[in-house]
Copies of this chain bind each other. A is one copy, B any other.
Amino acid sequence: MANIKDVAKAAGVSVSTVSRVINDSASVVPDKRQAVLAAMEALQYRPNSLARALVNSRSDCVGLLVGEIDSPFFGALMAGVHHVVHDSGKHVIVTAGYHHIDKERESIRFLLDRRCDALVIHSKALPDDELVQLLELDIPIIIVNRLIRGWEHRCVYLDNEYGAYLATRHLLTKGHRDIAYIGTNIAIEDGADRVHGYRRALEEFSVPFNERKVVRTFPDEEGGHSAMAEVLNRNLGVTAVFTYNDAMAAGAITLLQDSGHRVPEEISVVGFDDVILARLLNPRLTTIRYPIYDMGALAARIVLHQLDTKFASADQPLRFTPRLIERQSVRDVAPVAV
Least Cβ distance of A76 to chain B in Å?
5
Contact check, A91 vs B95: say whether CB atoms are below 8 A apart.
yes
- Nearest neighbor of A82 in chain B, beta-carbon distance: B69
Residues of B within 8 A of A114 (CB): 49-50
Which residues from chain B contact A91 at a C-beta distance below 8 Å? Answer: 95, 110
Which of chain B's residues have a CB closer than 8 A to the CB of A115?
A: 48-50
Q: Does the CB pair B96–A93 fall under 8 Å?
A: no
Interface residues on A, range: 35 or more
- From the candidates B50, B75, B78, name the one contacting A59 in the complex (CB within 8 A): B50
Question: What is the predominant secondary structure among interface residues of chain A facing chain B?
Answer: helix
The answer, among B68, B71, B280, for a CB contact under 8 Å with A277, is B280
Q: Quick one: which of A253, A257, A280 has the most chain B CB within 10 A?
A: A280
A 235-290 contacts with B by CB, 8 A:
250, 253-254, 257, 276-277, 279-283
Q: How many angstroms from the CA of A281 to the CA of B280 in the assembled complex?
A: 7
Q: How far, in angstroms, from A34 to B253 measured CA to CA in the complex?
A: 59
**Given known A-B contacts A277-B280, A280-B221, A96 and B113 have beta carbons under 8 A apart:** no
Contact with B along A66-94 (1 / 0, CB 8 A): 00111110011011001000000001111
Indicate if A333 sits at the interface (CB-CB under 8 A): no
Q: Is A53's beta carbon under 8 Å from chain B?
A: yes
The answer on a CB contact under 8 Å between B250 and A280 is yes
C-alpha spacing A253/B78, complex, angstroms: 28
Q: For chain A residues 268-316, which have a beta carbon within 8 Å of chain B?
A: 276-277, 279-283
Contact, CB under 8 Å: A70 / B59: no
Pair B47/A113 contact, Cβ less than 8 Å: yes
Whole-angstrom CA separation of A4 from B82 in the bound complex: 33
Separation of A332 and B47 alpha carbons in the complex (Å)? 61
Contact B96 A82 (CB under 8 A): yes
Measured between C-beta atoms, what is the minimum distance from A324 to chain B in Å?
Answer: 21
Contacts of A76 in B (CB 8 A): 70
Give the docked Cα–Cα distance between A292 and B331 (Å).
Answer: 39
Q: B46 contacts A54, CB within 8 Å? A: no
Question: In the complex, what distance in Å separates the CA atom of A328 from the CA atom of B67?
Answer: 32
Q: List, sorted by A's number, 6 A–B pairs whose CB atoms are closer than 8 Å.
A: A69-B82, A70-B76, A91-B95, A94-B94, A257-B282, A277-B277
* B-binding residues in A (CB < 8 A): 46-51, 53-54, 59, 68-72, 75-76, 78-79, 82, 91-96, 109-110, 112-115, 221, 250, 253-254, 257, 276-277, 279-283
